[in-house]
């Protein structure tokens, strides 16, 4: 099982704890798994088969560039975070 950390507002809407458990061999499947467990969750993260542009996925401390096709091998933690703008 992979520990998934969702954004605060998503946790509030679905009444979820800080960490939830999920499974999946890639990010798409993991989100499908979460959506089955908590119906409607997918909409918070995905739009038109892509991660919504204001969300980043961080896997064991590294931000993935690959979006939903990112494979998940031997992963402990996934964080969904608001994307950061910088300068």
Partner 1 sequence: MVSKSKKSDYKVIGTRPIRHDGYDKVTGRAQYGADIKLPGMIYGAVLRSPHAHAKIKKIDISVAEKMKGVFAVMTAKDLPRLSDKQRGNSEESGSEKHLSENVMAMDKVLYKGHVVAAISAKDVNTAREAVKKIVVDYEVLKPVINVDQAMKKGAPILHEDFVGDHLGKKVKNTNVATFNKYTTGNTDEGFRKAHLIIEKEVELQTVHQGYIEPHNGTAIWDEDDRVKIWTSTQGSFANRDSVSKVLNLDVSRVKVTPLEIGGGFGGKIPVYLEPIAAVLSKKSRRPVQLVMSRTDVFDASGPAPGGKVIVKIGVDKDGKMLAGYADIRLEAGGYPEAFIEAAAKCVFSCYDIPAMEIEAYDVLVNKPSSAPYRAPGSPQVAFATETVVDEICRKLNMDLIDFRLLNVAEKGTRTALGPKYRKIGLKQVLEAAKKSDHWQSNLEKNPKSGKLRGRGIASGYWFNIGEKSAVNLSLNMDGTVILTEGSTDIGGSRASIAMQAAEVLGVKAESVRPSVVDTDSIGHTDVTGGSRTTYATGYAAYKAAHMLIDEITNKAAKIWDLSEDEIIYSDGVISSKTDSELRMTLREFADKNPFGPVVSSASVDLEEAAGGFGTHIVDLEIDPETGKTDVIRYTVLQDVGKAIHPAYVEGQLQGGATQGIGWALNEEYFMSDQGTMLNSSYLDYRMPIALDLPMIETILVEVPSEDHPFGVRGVGETPICPPVPAISNAVNDAIGSRILSTPIKASKILNKLKSM
User: Binders of partner 1 among 6-35, rule CB under 8 A?
Assistant: 7-10, 12-13, 18
* Contact flag: residue 63 with partner 1 (CB under 8 A): yes
7 within 8 A of 82, measured Cβ to Cβ: yes
Choose which of 49, 65, 69, 74 interacts with partner 1 (CB under 8 A).
65
Which single residue is written with the structure tokens 């119906």? Answer: 39
Q: Where are the alpha helices (DSSP H) in the chain?
A: 8-14, 27-37, 42-45
Judged by beta carbon, residue 61 or residue 74, the one nearer partner 1 is 61
Judged by beta carbon, residue 1 or residue 53, the one nearer partner 1 is 53
Q: Which residues pair with 5 in a beta bridge?
A: 19, 79
């Amino acid at each position: 099982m992979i520990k998934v950390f969702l954004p605060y507002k998503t946790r509030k809407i679905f009444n979820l704890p800080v960490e939830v458990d999920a499974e999946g061999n890639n990010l798409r499947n993991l989100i499908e798994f979460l959506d089955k467990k908590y119906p409607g969750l997918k909409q918070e993260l995905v739009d038109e088969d892509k991660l919504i542009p204001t969300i980043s996925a961080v896997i064991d401390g590294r931000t993935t560039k690959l979006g939903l096709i990112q494979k998940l091998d031997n992963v402990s933690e996934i964080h969904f975070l608001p994307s950061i703008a910088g300068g």
